[in-house]
């Protein structure tokens, strides 16, 4: 069915998925076609285990296998207009393709949610393995490269929007590398822990117990065909916390992306100007201000986060299903795929931007120099205290105030103070050199950056 993307409703289907290849791989795992394909795979897995248990012959398996290959969403949706039930519509479409001898075994002993929840687990797991983690690996790879290149590039650290003490730009990036890397591990673990079920209408194996001696093992065998495990116990639905925990890892990852995007956006401010996005020669930044070069990609990521982060609340609400099941999670649960799509698109956007990002090292140094004589207050106070000054913090604080009044540096005022100079004379040559050359006050920024980069380069080999 051909469709003009500009007649679609969701921005994910027109504004953010216009490139054909980008749309195709998302669609394969997240579309309604993917839902029906994986639901049919669950029905086939059920048939395979029924055959292994001696309930039907191999010809039934072959028939159903061929049948599910040709099932289309259009066909299932047309059938649903008659049945008013999505899974029964799918079952009818399969049954219509097989012999009368095979039909009794299609959907045998299963309930709709056995198929639906197991299908969802397959799709979310595969989306994590094939979309999310590969995209994060690509992003991490470019971040690692930039962090290593800029591991010694001095940048002023900022807290509360104010200059603090020096770091390096590579060190700033390393924090995000570590945070995202840990999220990759959590996503992989949560995806691998998604569960399915084949336990019937209330989770007590009522229907399967009629013919199968060990229905609990039967459930395990069906799910094993799909690379899944069951929860320890189910109602009509799989325990919702498996999906909840999985989506939480995605939303918290989105938060890290938004935090990074915010940082980079602020560093592009005119008065800071430390990094920049690639700007095409024919790209327009404003409809009225021809000079504008806005951080549109970073702002897009922040905006996407604002859209999808609140949806986590819906997942918490979907934890509640009355008694053995109600339908209040049915519509809301269908939108989980949009969270996945939004996350993947944002990861890919950041990867493209960082790959073409320019770092203004001269401006970083210029910004550092603006307060180079102020932030030595911290090392000076600590050294004075270390050599026994009884009130070093207050003494240095007063010097910073006087420096602003007089235009002199804290270092100059310290040398003019006979009381403080007594302690200064006890400093080592290396300590004096640090106070006189603030760019040396980097702590372990370079070493920590190198450690983090090496650590995650090695860990990424496992993804």
Q: CA-to-CA distance for 222 and 260, rounded, in angstroms?
A: 43
Does the structure show a pLDDT above 90 at 361?
Answer: yes
Q: What is the pLDDT of residues 53-81, one digit of tens each?
A: 999 999 999 999 999 999 999 999 999 99
Show the tokens assigned to 297: 């990609």
Task: Decide if pLDDT at 94 tops 90.
Answer: yes
Classify residue 84 by its DSSP letter: S
**Where do we find the tokens 């840990």?**
182
Q: Is 150 helix (H, G, I), strand (E, B) or coil?
A: coil
Tell me: pLDDT of 318 over 60.
Answer: yes
Can you give the pLDDT at residue 277? 81
Interval 313-325 mean pLDDT: 94
The beta-carbon contacts of 330-333 under 8 Å, at least 24 apart in sequence, are 333/120
Proportion of the chain above pLDDT 70, given as a percent:
95
Give 13's pLDDT tier (boundaries 50, 70, 90).
confident
**What's the half-sphere exposure (Cβ side, CA atoms, 13 Å) at 354?**
27
Instruction: Write out pLDDT tens, residues 45-56.
Output: 999 999 999 999
On whether the CB atoms of residues 188 and 128 are closer than 8 A, the answer is: yes
For residue 290, pLDDT over 60 is answered with no
The whole-angstrom distance between residue 336's C-alpha and the CA centroid of its chain comes to: 14
Confidence of residue 99 (pLDDT cuts 50, 70, 90): very high
Statement: residue 352 has pLDDT above 70: yes
Can you give the pTM of this predicted structure? 0.92
Domain 112-367 in the same topology as domain 31-96: no
Rounded to 5 degrees, φ, ψ at 36 are: -70, -35
- Give the tens place of pLDDT for each residue, 405-449: 998 989 999 999 999 999 999 999 999 999 999 999 999 999 999
CATH 1.10.1040.10 assigned to domain 112-367? The reply is no
How confident is residue 289, by pLDDT bands cut at 50, 70 and 90?
very low
Q: Is residue 425 classed as helix, strand or coil in its secondary structure?
A: coil
pLDDT at 19 over 80: no
Q: Which pLDDT score, from 0 to 100, does residue 24 have?
A: 86
Mean pLDDT is lowest, of 20-24, 248-252, 322-326, 399-403, for: 20-24
Q: What's the token pair of residue 407?
A: 């235009």
Distances (CA, A) of 100 to 56, 75, 103, 353, 412: 12, 20, 5, 57, 97
* Number of neighbouring beta carbons within 10 Å of residue 451: 13
Task: Note the CATH architecture for domain 31-96.
Answer: Orthogonal Bundle (1.10)
Dihedral angle sign, alpha carbons of residues 369, 374, 377, 378: negative
Q: What are phi and psi of 200, to 5 degrees?
A: 85, -170
Confidence band for 203, pLDDT divided at 50, 70 and 90: very high
Mean pLDDT of 131-158: 98
Could you state, in order of their start, the residue ranges of all structural domains in the chain?
31-96, 112-367, 376-440
**Which residues, other chains included, contact 315 with Cβ-Cβ below 8 Å and sequence gap of 6+?**
240, 243, 244, 247, 248, 336
Count of positions (residues) in the chain: 463
Check residue 111 and give its pLDDT: 97
pLDDT at 284: 46
Percentage of the chain surpassing pLDDT 90? 86
- 236, 245, 12: which is closest to 124 by C-alpha? 245
- Residue 23: its pLDDT value, please? 82
Residue 392: CA count within 13 A, CB half-sphere: 17
Nearest residue to 90 (alpha-carbon basis) of 60, 120, 70: 70
Spatial distance between the Cα atoms of 142 and 310, rounded to a whole number of angstroms:
29
Report pLDDT for 21.
77
Mean pLDDT of the chain: 93
- Give the strand pairing for 162-168 and 195-196: unpaired
Asked which of 30-39, 242-251, 270-279 is least confident by mean pLDDT, the reply is 270-279
Measured in whole angstroms, the distance separating CA 17 from the mean position of its chain's CA atoms is 18
Q: How confident is the model at residue 4 (pLDDT cuts 50, 70, 90)?
A: confident
Tokens 């999670």 belong to residue: 329
pLDDT at 84 over 70: yes
Lowest mean pLDDT among 21-30, 41-50, 378-387: 21-30
SS3 35: helix
Q: Is 191 exposed, middle or buried (0-12, 13-18, 19+ CB in 10 A)?
A: buried
pLDDT at res. 332: 87
Give DSSP secondary structure letters for 241-287: HHHHHHHHHHHHHHHHHHHHHHHHHHHTSTTT--EE----TT--S-S
Q: Which residue has the higher pLDDT, 443 or 287?
A: 443
Confidence at residue 18, expressed as pLDDT on a 0 to 100 scale: 67
């Amino acid at each position: 069915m051909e469709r003009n993307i500009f007649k679609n409703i969701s921005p994910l289907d027109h504004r953010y998925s216009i490139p054909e290849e980008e749309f195709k791989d998302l669609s394969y795992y997240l579309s309604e076609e993917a839902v029906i394909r994986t639901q049919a795979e669950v029905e086939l897995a059920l048939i395979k285990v029924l055959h292994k248990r001696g309930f039907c012959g191999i010809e039934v398996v072959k028939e159903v296998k061929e049948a599910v290959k040709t099932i289309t969403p259009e066909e299932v949706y047309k059938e649903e207009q008659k049945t008013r039930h999505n899974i029964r519509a799918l079952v009818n479409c399969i049954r219509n393709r097989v012999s009368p001898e095979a039909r009794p075994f299609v959907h045998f002993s299963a309930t709709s949610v056995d198929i639906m929840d197991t299908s969802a687990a397959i799709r979310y797991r595969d989306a994590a393995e094939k979309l999310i983690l590969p995209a994060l690996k690509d992003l991490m790879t470019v971040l690692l490269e930039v962090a290593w290149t800029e591991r010694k590039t001095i940048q002023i650290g900022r807290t509360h929007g104010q200059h603090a003490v020096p770091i390096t730009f590579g060190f700033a990036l390393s924090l995000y590398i570590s945070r995202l890397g840990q999220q990759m591990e959590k996503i992989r673990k949560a995806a691998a822990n998604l569960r399915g079920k084949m336990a019937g209408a209330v989770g007590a194996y009522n229907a399967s117990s009629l013919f199968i001696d060990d229905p609990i093992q039967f459930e395990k065998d069906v799910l094993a065909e799909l690379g899944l495990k069951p929860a320890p116990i189910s109602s009509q639905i799989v325990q919702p916390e498996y999906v909840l925990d999985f989506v939480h890892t995605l939303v918290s990852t989105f938060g890290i992306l938004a935090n990074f995007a915010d940082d980079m956006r602020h560093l592009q401010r005119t008065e800071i100007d430390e990094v920049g996005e690639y700007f095409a020669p024919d790209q327009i930044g404003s409809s009225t201000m021809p000079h504008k070069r806005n951080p549109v990609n970073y702002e897009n990521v922040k905006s996407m986060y604002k859209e999808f982060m609140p949806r986590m609340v819906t997942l918490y609400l979907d934890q509640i299903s009355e008694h053995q099941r109600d339908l209040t999670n049915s519509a809301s649960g269908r939108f989980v795929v949009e969270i996945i799509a939004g996350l993947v698109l944002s990861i890919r956007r950041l990867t493209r931007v960082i790959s073409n990002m320019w770092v203004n090292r001269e401006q970083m140094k210029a910004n550092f120099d603006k307060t180079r004589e102020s932030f030595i207050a911290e090392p000076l106070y600590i050294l004075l205290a270390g050599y026994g000054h009884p009130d070093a913090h207050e003494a240095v604080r007063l010097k910073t105030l006087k420096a602003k009044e007089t235009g002199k540096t804290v270092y100059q005022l310290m040398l003019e103070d006979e009381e403080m100079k007594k302690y200064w004379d006890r400093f080592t040559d290396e300590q004096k050199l640090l106070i006189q050359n603030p760019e040396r006050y980097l702590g372990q920024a370079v070493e920590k950056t190198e450690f983090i980069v090496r650590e995650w380069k090695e860990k990424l080999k496992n993804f």
